[in-house]
Amino acid sequence: MTERTIKVTALTRVEGEGGLYIKMQGDAVEDIRLEIYEPPRLFEALLRGRALEEVPDITARICGICPVAYQMSSVHALEAALDVTITPEIRQLRRLLYCGEWIESHALHVYLLNAPDFLGFESGLEMAEQFPDEVNRGLRMKKHGNQLLEVLGGRAIHPINVAVGGFYRAPRRDNLQTLIADFEWGLEAAIETTRWVAGFNYPDFTCDYQLVSLSHDEEYPMNEGRIATSIGESIAVADYESEFEERHVEHSTALHSLRKKTGETYLTGPLARVSLNFDRLSSTARAIAAEIDMAWPCFNPFQSIIARGLELIHVYEEALDIMRDYSPPRPPRIEYSYQAGESCAATEAPRGLLYHRYVVDADGKVGDATIIPPTSQNQAQIESDLRDWVPYALSDDEAATSRRLENLVRCYDPCISCSTHFLKVKIERT
Amino acid sequence: MSSKPTLGVFKFASCDGCQLSLLAAEDHLLGVAAEVEIAYFLEATSHIQPGPYDIALIEGSIITSHDAERIQQIRRDSKFLITIGACATSGGIQALRNWADCNEFVRSVYATPDYISTLATSTAIADHVQVDFELRGCPINQYQLIEVIQSVLAGRRPRTPVHSVCLDCKRRGTVCVMVAQGTTCLGPVTQAGCGAICPTYNRGCYGCYGPAAQPNLVSLTGQFESSGVPREQVVDSLRNFNGYAPEFRAESERLEASRESTT
Ligand code: SF4
Ligand code: SF4
């Protein structure tokens, strides 16, 4: 039997840097690894001893693509440890901020990173030559996300306005009103986006997923909820660490999240969220989902891009609702006093569930921090899906094979920069 | 082959936020793409072209020995090398390890520390190779980035202001948060570039653009201490995203040393 090794040394159009290593014996996959080159920045260690007020500013720097997610999971966890209850108005404003990040992140992924794969381009910029209207639409949506983040957060990347207890300053009503016309256009653009991506050609490829996402009785999951799974569980976030576990797997040097009791892989992110919370999508998102006539839950990873489209519709609609009703929360930030404690929180980053846990002392200093990003949770699943995808992707043309493998990796929108938990991988060659 | 100048974007230890600023410059993105040939930008395109590059943008700090070698090759391949952001210009937030026991840091994060190969320090790109221009900020300002790229394309030497955030507040007419609210603020010693955002949002500047030209740090930290901020907190305030920038580093180490000598 011939031995064949396929290596994609630099995955492109993913956030952060990684590679892919596959070893074949004849037609059988002997080894498969999603390799992370991302050097370890050791956030959990460097947080120890810092004042808890600094945590949202510091954890934002884990990821420049979804800083708000890190800020949200951290402030919710810290507020729980301090017994701070935020007002419904602050809570709405946080949802609005999160909407901005979802729009920015999903528009970036759909138009610049993922759609080029379906249409055969090397980049969104190259795609722009043949699809200028679509790319401009995507860029304009991305800009809306950024504008909302700028108004609410002070700037789009690493917002400065997120505080434990709320916001340093609430935007004025007219600051948000000026965005409404653009967002009305954006809602239409999100509908067009979903129709457009629904028309792409999808490989007939499904995986046997255990889907995992936050779930909330009254709203589409974002800042809080219980953890729902496609096998019918409803898990309190406080039980996350007894239900999910990071482990070393024999063939890999990266930490993989698995179900603790069964050792099973699971999938988090847009596909899981839409599948598990379909009835809490906005009315327009549900109507468009009906129009494109696709079955949910969906188990085809390539169709994650459609889930992102539906979520874009949802967040535009929700953002419009919040902005139309908005009046500035008073006070914008709830006061608190220090107390020793420990608590956790999970929110839905654009890429999936993001779990944080902190121990704080009576002087307001962080004693211990645990951060489990969505890509680390998906990594074992991505490898398992790749294993199943190899037979479809394999051809004599090495470049074409690599490209097809990469296509699948990009569908998860892996954000490798959130390397709080990724290991430097050593490549073993025999 | 096109005769357009080539641009490469290279990542080291970072969050991707600075290179994302290039993609975030929606209105300018297609314009810049028309003026240069994007020869290497993994996050944006699968098109990969080998060097030489006319302009290299470097994001991130050096924390692995492999990266310490990689930057040498990129330097050899690049005509004009620009570092973008606090990570690349000063070591970033990950430089907090420089004052800690890095092995202990690794052990506390990873169950199997043996798999981790990382250097004990996080260092700026300029500690390894000659840098032609440094753009500050965590993250950088996208407009400054576009301006810098356009200057280089036009054959001009890029220039960015080196005055303080404090001066920008005065220009914007922002009420001083130190005077009005007694909030500690690094604005007087931090380089402008962000537009003095934090004080307009009722909070002090935390120095994400790094030290301004000739910062009077001793006077500012003295002021913090006399208003009752514990020394430990003053030290921490200098040790964040640009903690290893020479001026901030010298002052935090001075404060720490004088604390040790007084106790
Ligand atoms: S300087 Fe800040 S924004 Fe830029 S890469 Fe580093 S952490 Fe990210
Ligand atoms: S005011 Fe200071 S901390 Fe805030 S964005 Fe500007 S430089 Fe960064």
On whether the CB atoms of residues B142 and B24 are closer than 8 A, the answer is: yes
Q: What angle do CA A316, A317, A321 make, to 5 degrees?
A: 115
Give tens-digit pLDDT for A171-183.
999 999 999 999 9
Would the CB of B138 count as within 6 Å of ligand 1?
Answer: yes
Q: Of the given ranges (A14-23, A103-112, A131-140, B186-195), which has the lowest mean pLDDT?
A: A14-23
Substitution candidate for ligand 2 out of B18, B167, B185, B190 with most atoms within 8 A of CB? B190
CA A176 to CA A183: how far, in whole Å? 11
Q: Which two tokens stand for residue A421?
A: 């938990």
The answer to whether residue A425 scores a pLDDT higher than 70 is no
CA A16 to CA A34: how far, in whole Å? 13
On whether the CB atoms of residues B7 and B53 are closer than 8 A, the answer is: yes
CA A116 to CA A200: how far, in whole Å? 11
Residue type, B254: R
Q: Which residues of A touch B46 (CB under 8 A)?
A: 12-13, 116, 122-123, 403, 406
Chain A nearest CA to B52, separation (Å): 19
CA A265 to CA A34: how far, in whole Å? 15
Q: Which two tokens stand for residue A110?
A: 């759909």
CB contact under 8 A, B206 and A57: yes
On whether the CB atoms of residues B30 and B146 are closer than 8 A, the answer is: no
**Single pTM value for the model:** 0.93
3-state secondary structure of A62: coil
CB contact under 8 A, A40 and B116: yes
Chain B nearest CA to A299, separation (Å): 27
Q: Of the given ranges (A184-188, A230-234, A378-382, B31-35), which has the lowest mean pLDDT?
A: B31-35
On whether the CB atoms of residues A38 and A18 are closer than 8 A, the answer is: yes
Exposed/middle/buried for A185, CB within 10 Å: 0-12, 13-18, 19+? middle
Chain A residue with Cα closest to B38:
A125
Q: What angle do CA A188, A191, A193 make, to 5 degrees?
A: 110
- In this structure, the residue with its CA closest to atom 2 of ligand 1 is B138
Residue type, A325: D
On whether the CB atoms of residues A38 and B117 are closer than 8 A, the answer is: no
Neighbours of B246 (CB within 10 A): 12
**Nearest in space to A99 (alpha carbons), one of A326, A415, A299, A330:** A326
Using 50, 70 and 90 to split pLDDT, how confident is the model at A32?
confident
The answer to whether residue A223 scores a pLDDT higher than 70 is yes
pLDDT value for B124: 98
pLDDT value for B2: 56
pLDDT value for B23: 76
How much is the ipTM here?
A: 0.95
The answer to whether residue B194 scores a pLDDT higher than 70 is yes
CA B137 to CA B241: how far, in whole Å? 9
| Residues A247-281: b if buried by 16+ CB within 10 A, e if exposed | eebeebbbbbbbbeeeeebbbbbbbbbbbbbbebb
pLDDT value for B30: 65
pLDDT value for A57: 98
Q: Which residues of A touch B108 (CB under 8 A)?
A: 44-45, 48
Q: Which residues of B touch A57 (CB under 8 A)?
A: 206, 240
Give tens-digit pLDDT for A66-82.
999 999 999 999 999 99
The answer to whether residue A205 scores a pLDDT higher than 70 is yes
pLDDT value for A251: 41
Half-sphere exposure of A143 (CA within 13 A, CB side): 17
**Nearest in space to A99 (alpha carbons), one of A323, A376, A378, A332:** A323
On whether the CB atoms of residues B50 and B98 are closer than 8 A, the answer is: no
On whether the CB atoms of residues A262 and A246 are closer than 8 A, the answer is: no
3-state secondary structure of B72: helix
**Higher pLDDT, residue B150 or A98:** A98
How far does residue A286's CA lie from ligand 1's centre (Å)?
38
**Nearest in space to A73 (alpha carbons), one of A360, A277, A352, A357:** A357
> Which structural domains are found in chain B, ordered by start?
6-154 (3.40.50.700), 165-261 (no CATH)
Chain B nearest CA to A422, separation (Å): 9
Which positions ≥6 away from A114 have C-beta within 8 Å? A13, A305, A410, A411, A413
Give tens-digit pLDDT for B11-37.
999 998 999 888 776 667 667 777 888
Substitution candidate for ligand 1 out of B9, B10, B12, B18 with most atoms within 8 A of CB? B18
Would the CB of A64 count as within 6 Å of ligand 1?
Answer: yes
Q: Which residues of B touch A154 (CB under 8 A)?
A: 197-198, 200-201
Q: Which two tokens stand for residue A6?
A: 């396929």
Helices A304-325 and A283-292 sit at what angle, rounded to 10 degrees? 150
CATH of domain A50-377: 1.10.645.10
Neighbours of A364 (CB within 10 A): 18
CA B122 to CA A73: how far, in whole Å? 27
Give tens-digit pLDDT for A121-147.
888 888 988 999 999 999 999 999 999
Q: Of the given ranges (A38-47, A73-82, B37-46, B122-131), which has the lowest mean pLDDT?
A: B37-46
Is A428's Cβ below 8 Å from some Cβ in B? Answer: no
Give tens-digit pLDDT for A332-362.
999 999 999 999 999 999 999 999 999 999 9
Would the CB of B250 count as within 6 Å of ligand 2?
Answer: no
- In this structure, the residue with its CA closest to atom 2 of ligand 2 is B205
Domain boundaries, chain A: 50-377
Give tens-digit pLDDT for B66-100.
899 999 999 999 999 999 999 999 999 999 999 98
Is A9's Cβ below 8 Å from some Cβ in B? Answer: no
Which positions ≥6 away from A333 have C-beta within 8 Å? A90, A163, A165, A166, A167, A168
